[in-house]
Structure 1
Amino acid sequence: MDRLVIKETASDAPSRLTLVLSGELDVINVGKLSDTIVLELEAGKRHLLLDLTGVIRCDNGSLYTLLGMRHAANHAHGSLALIAASACVQQALDRAGLRALLPFDAATT
């Protein structure tokens, strides 16, 4: 059984994609999310939104990986933003001091 499940939700815009995560976002499986993000950017999905409401465990390392992926997406003339997060993700953002660096997409909040 996967500890992290990633579902893709299509958007009206062909270059935009929402990834809905559930399960554990930690150092053991954050690579799965990184691989998915890279594949989607390579496939032309330039604007990725992450819905983390289904995440039940989140460590600081995973958030730093997301920050790196956000910088990589920006470098590829794209974007990566959070649209929603569970309480444990919110707590991890605060604990790591990353709330300002991993902002929520203003268009969806």
Structure 2
Amino acid sequence: MATIVQDERVDSPEAAGMEVGVAAGPRPGTVQVVVTGEIDFDNATVLREVLLAALVSHRTTLLIDLGRVTFCDCAGLNTLLTVRHAALQAGRGLHITAAGRRVERLLTLTDTRTLLM
């Protein structure tokens, strides 16, 4: 991954089980966000805040790597859809570039894969 432009690794109790890193993306005009661990009701708000902050501060397309996410519930999915909506409203994009087996299954079951990938 390229140079870290903003390190959003969160250690708060609300982010338990999740780590988020934000770096310059592989293409000009993009920011890469890598999420590791679990995304659930307890930490989805933290993820939403980090993603929205990256969207606002970098004013670019967000590329989200969920390849290291081991669990994602409907709160996590809602966060991704909410941030996607905010990105579209701002004339930007949001794309999941990698997803683990469990995230892929969630996106397939909820028919949201084409919206996010």
Tell me, yes or no, whether TM beats 0.5: yes
Q: Counterpart of 1:82? A: 96
Cα shift at 1:9: 2.5
Q: Summarize deviations over 1:28-48 as a string: whole Å, max 9, x none.
A: 111111111111122133210
Higher relative contact order (CA 8 A, sep 6+): 1
Question: Aligned pairs, how many?
Answer: 102
Q: Which has the higher helix share?
A: 2
Q: Distance in 2 between matches of 1:39 and 1:28?
A: 19
Q: Which runs of 5+ in 2 are unaligned?
A: 1-10
Q: Which moved more, 1:3-12 or 1:74-83?
A: 3-12
SS at match of 1:50: strand
* 8 Å CA contact 1:60, 1:96 repeated in 2: no
Residues 22-101 of structure 1: matches in 2 within 5 Å? Answer: 22-101=36-115
Q: TM-score normalized by structure 2?
A: 0.79
* 8 Å CA contact 1:26, 1:61 repeated in 2: yes
Structural RMSD (CA): 1.5
Q: Distance in 2 between matches of 1:97 and 1:64?
A: 13
Structure 1 runs, 4 residues or longer, greater than 6 Å off: none
Percent identity of the aligned residues?
A: 31
Q: TM-score normalized by structure 1?
A: 0.84
